[in-house]
């Protein structure tokens, strides 16, 4: 149970900072005055332990200086195998990203992302827990975007520092208006995850529907699924 809980918290904290629907961060950032609203449902399961599901809401705004900042809120529910004994918990995070080299259609981009959050276990109050710092490299290659991450994460309640990493490849307009992607990510304490994702560009630069699925290679064979909607103004 403890291992599964730590994996879920890591996934949730990472996703708050990521380029949806991937867990891997990209090097893009919101231009000054731009606003994005991301909403997604997520569900995480593992063999023999309680499942975790929730709704994540995250508005973000470009504040200039190649920087964006946002607030992510997670409303979480935990169930046993029979969907009984529901427990409520939550998390909210302040997240940000600064572009060190702007990503273009022809040139690679580099960015640094960060997050700090407070979590609430069932029946307890909110407490500061996770902090993360993550570097992101994105390389455009014709219709492909290649991403690489290397970072650091700290869980205060778990008293653990982690080195985090992620690799991803996106195929833009793989099937008409649908982008497809694959990724692998993890840290130096747990088994790696493998995932796939899709993004439907409903209205270019304005409205997106996305989904992802991932499986952890070892441990309790954890799985994660997300389904989301993104609006950009």
Per residue in 9-30, pLDDT (tens digit) is 444 444 445 678 999 999 999 9
As a whole number of angstroms, the distance between CA 48 and CA 139 comes to 40
pLDDT number for residue 9: 44
pLDDT band at 86 (very low <50, low <70, confident <90, very high): low
Write down the pTM of the prediction: 0.88
Q: Give the total number of structural domains in the chain.
A: 1
Say whether pLDDT at 72 is over 80. yes
**Closest C-alpha among 14, 125, 118, 33 to residue 73:** 118
For residue 173, give the CATH number of its domain. Answer: 2.40.160.40
* Tokens read off for 38: 């991301």
List b or e across 9-35, with b for residues whose CB sees 16 or more CB atoms inside 10 angstroms: bbbbbbbbbbbbbbbbbbbbbbeeeee
Mean pLDDT of 157-174: 93
Write out pLDDT tens, residues 114-157.
Answer: 999 988 776 677 788 899 999 999 999 999 999 999 999 998 87
Whole-number mean pLDDT of the chain?
Answer: 88
Residues 6+ apart with CB under 8 A from 177: 200, 201, 202
- Burial classification of residue 203, based on how many CB atoms lie within 10 Å of its CB (0-12 exposed, 13-18 middle, 19 or more buried): exposed
**Closest C-alpha among 189, 143, 182 to residue 166:** 182
Could you tell me the residue range of the domain that residue 63 belongs to?
2-232
- Burial classification of residue 173, based on how many CB atoms lie within 10 Å of its CB (0-12 exposed, 13-18 middle, 19 or more buried): exposed
**Closest C-alpha among 41, 24, 55, 3 to residue 149:** 24
């Amino acid at each position: 149970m403890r291992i599964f809980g730590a994996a879920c918290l890591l996934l949730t904290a990472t996703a708050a900072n990521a380029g949806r629907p991937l867990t891997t961060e990209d090097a893009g950032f919101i231009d000054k005055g731009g606003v994005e609203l991301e909403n997604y449902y997520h569900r995480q399961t593992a063999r023999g332990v309680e499942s975790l599901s929730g709704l994540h809401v995250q508005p973000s705004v470009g504040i200039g200086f190649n920087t964006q900042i946002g607030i992510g809120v997670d409303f979480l529910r935990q169930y046993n195998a029979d969907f009984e004994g529901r427990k409520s918990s939550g998390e909210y995070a302040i997240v940000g990203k600064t572009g060190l080299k702007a990503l273009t259609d022809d040139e690679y981009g580099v960015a640094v992302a960060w997050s700090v959050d407070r979590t609430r276990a069932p029946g307890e109050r909110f407490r500061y827990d996770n902090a993360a710092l993550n570097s992101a490299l994105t390389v455009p290659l014709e219709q492909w975007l290649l991403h690489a991450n290397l970072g650091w994460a700290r869980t205060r309640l778990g008293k653990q520092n982690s080195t985090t990493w992620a690799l991803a490849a996106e195929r833009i307009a793989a099937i008409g208006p649908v982008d497809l992607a694959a990724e692998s990510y993890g840290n130096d304490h747990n088994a790696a995850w493998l995932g796939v994702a899709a993004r439907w560009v409903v209205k270019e630069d304005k409205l997106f529907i996305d989904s992802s699925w991932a499986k952890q290679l070892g441990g309790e064979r954890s799985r994660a699924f997300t389904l989301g909607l993104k609006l950009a103004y």
